[in-house]
Amino acid sequence: MAQELELKLAATEEKLNKIKNLDLPGIASQTPWETKRLNNAYFDNSEFKLRELAIGMRLRYVDNKIIQCVKSSGKAIGGLHQRNEDEVELDDADLDITKIQEPYLQILIEEAYEEGGEFVPCFETNFDRTASLLTFSDGTQIEIALDTGEIVSDSKKLDICEVELELITGSADYVFALGRYLIKELGLVLANSSKARRGYSLCKDFNPRQKIMSVTELSQGIEAEQAFEKICFNSLNHWQYYELFLARDNAHGAVLEMYRALMSLQHIYLVFGGLIPRTATNDLKRSWEWLGEAMRPIVDAAKHKRYLMSYLKIKADWDLVEEQQLKIQKDSAEMIEQFKALLKTQRYNLMMLNMSQWLYNKEWQDVMSDEEKENLTTPIVEFAKKQLDHMLKDLKRDLGPKLDMLPLDYFKQISHLRRALDTGLFFGSLFDSQKRVSYRDAWIKIINDIRGLLLNQYIAELQKENHTSEEIEVWLSKLNSPILESLEATRKSAFKMKGYWL
């Protein structure tokens, strides 16, 4: 089974035309540009089981041939797509899943068929591909393809206008170098959503599910370095998954989920500091800190929108005036547009591309001694236990059951609690799942109760023009009292529980 590695960048037709006339740097030779028409029909069943299993299946019509292709989702970080694919030429335009060569993909396809029924066409991607083969001095070959066309499902359409850099043979570093050149010279942006994902977004009965940050699936014997990579990919995938939701009604929720992934990435650097030297992550850490700072006002506006929606749902005994509601809605909408603009900046796109290269090349190894590299080959489980022990000791120090805590005290512990919960997501799959879920539930309840205190505080701030400080204090005390009692009880029970890793 072949593994596909390609970098995708979104463009405009004007920029695609400029690329044809560019003198691309570093190449030893280049074949003439050739254009082909590619018509593709993507298949799934009525339950969208293939999408659920992260599998794409299509028939491609090109050069009087019919090619059946099955792809796994693989990894897609910073525009770089790494996927396993299975291709076979067919005699006619009927799917033939018996001709799938890769056993694992065949098992998944058969499972989807048994659970969801017959596969039918869902959408089409029809486009012209103008391609050229680039050869470098060391023999590396990259196909550069310029795609223009459309994605169609029923009467809905999306334009296709993108560049694909596919590694045919040799070093992937040239793919990254070309990507950087096109971002800097022409202002192209990374395309993290595949044509297939965009196609599914058009399907009438397909509703993309909302995802929460989930536990990273690790096996007991997995080596430390492999665990680190999987945990990084899990957080980055969460970030990129919600990029597509920025065009939907719940865009403020997408921003908060992306910020959640950003915080998770920063926690990874802290948790793995004992294995991956800080010098190896300093540049990335600075990049994520820059992005965090840039996002902060946008995240604040998104939080205000979420607070407003929560407030309107609970119908608290104080009303927000219409003017306040309109301002919150307006601020949120403006900040969403600012965030979309941020994702198109050169700095952001180069940062994400550099992150992709750092992970792909395992560049942390460049600054590590042989002894440190040896530690990366040991099973992760003992390191995980030490990190979870350390997390619990810190929580006892700052949130212990004997401490008397006011709302402000809880607010100061939010980042600490989130880091602790993320540590559980990083390593939780190494241990008994029932014990882990039971243990984690108490801490999630604590976080949710603190959010209740934050909501009350937020509403109180909005009422300062309409009520005296004494009225606000009485109101806050009335609403906070049961939450504080709940927090105290939950803290006591949480610290009585035995850690699931012990």
Confidence of residue 1 (pLDDT cuts 50, 70, 90): very low
Question: What's the confidence (pLDDT) of residue 440?
Answer: 95
CA–CA distance from 214 to each of 239, 320, 359, 426, 429 (Å)?
13, 35, 21, 9, 10
d(CA 258, CA 238): 7
Dihedrals phi, psi of 466, to nearest 5 degrees: -105, -15
Residue 468 half-sphere exposure, CB side, CA atoms within 13 Å? 3
Beta bridge partners of 401: none
CB 144 within 8 A of CB 106: no
Residue 179 above 80 pLDDT? yes
List pLDDT tens digits, range 24-38.
Answer: 999 999 999 999 999
d(CA 73, CA 233): 13
Average pLDDT of every residue of the chain:
91
Confidence of residue 248 (pLDDT cuts 50, 70, 90): confident
Mean pLDDT value of segment 192-204: 88
Residue 190 above 70 pLDDT? yes
Confidence of residue 244 (pLDDT cuts 50, 70, 90): confident
Kindly state the tokens that stand for 479: 């609403």
Question: What's the confidence (pLDDT) of residue 323?
Answer: 75
Confidence of residue 189 (pLDDT cuts 50, 70, 90): very high
List the one residue out of 194, 184, 44 whose CA is nearest residue 122.
44
**In what helix (H) or strand (E) does residue 412 lie, and over which residues does it extend?**
none
Residues 6+ apart with CB under 8 A from 93: 59, 61, 66
Question: What's the confidence (pLDDT) of residue 12?
Answer: 96
Question: What's the confidence (pLDDT) of residue 193?
Answer: 84
Kindly state the tokens that stand for 287: 């990049």
CB 59 within 8 A of CB 40: yes
List pLDDT tens digits, range 66-93.
Answer: 999 998 766 555 666 666 788 999 999 8
d(CA 285, CA 278): 9
Question: What's the confidence (pLDDT) of residue 4?
Answer: 73
Question: What's the confidence (pLDDT) of residue 453?
Answer: 96
CB 20 within 8 A of CB 131: no
Mean pLDDT value of segment 226-232: 95
List the one residue out of 214, 209, 256 whose CA is nearest residue 231.
214
Return the higher-pLDDT residue of 388 and 197.
388
Question: What's the confidence (pLDDT) of residue 139?
Answer: 95
Per-residue burial over 433-469, b if 16 or more Cβ lie within 10 Å, else e, is: eebbeebbebbebbeebbebbbbbbbbbebbeeeeee
What are all long-range contacts of 84-89, with beta carbons under 8 Å and residues at least 24 apart? 84/1, 84/2, 84/3, 84/4, 85/1, 85/2, 85/3, 85/4, 86/1, 86/2, 87/2, 89/65
Question: What's the confidence (pLDDT) of residue 108?
Answer: 86
d(CA 252, CA 245): 9
Beta bridge partners of 3: 84
Name residue 485's amino acid. Answer: E
Question: What's the confidence (pLDDT) of residue 381?
Answer: 96
d(CA 3, CA 82): 7
Confidence of residue 209 (pLDDT cuts 50, 70, 90): confident
Mean pLDDT value of segment 427-438: 95
By DSSP bridging, strand 2-10 and strand 75-77 are: unpaired
List pLDDT tens digits, range 355-384.
Answer: 999 999 999 999 999 999 999 999 999 999
Question: What's the confidence (pLDDT) of residue 204?
Answer: 83
Outline where 162-277 has alpha helix (H).
173-186, 195-200, 224-241, 251-271
Q: What is the 3-state secondary structure (H, E, C) of 129-180?
A: EEEEEEEECCCCEEEEEEEEEEEEECCEEEEEEEEEEEEEECCCHHHHHHHH
Residue 418 above 90 pLDDT? yes
Residue 320 above 70 pLDDT? no
Confidence of residue 213 (pLDDT cuts 50, 70, 90): confident
List the one residue out of 129, 126, 133, 160 whose CA is nearest residue 146.
129
| CA-only gyration radius of the chain, Å | 26
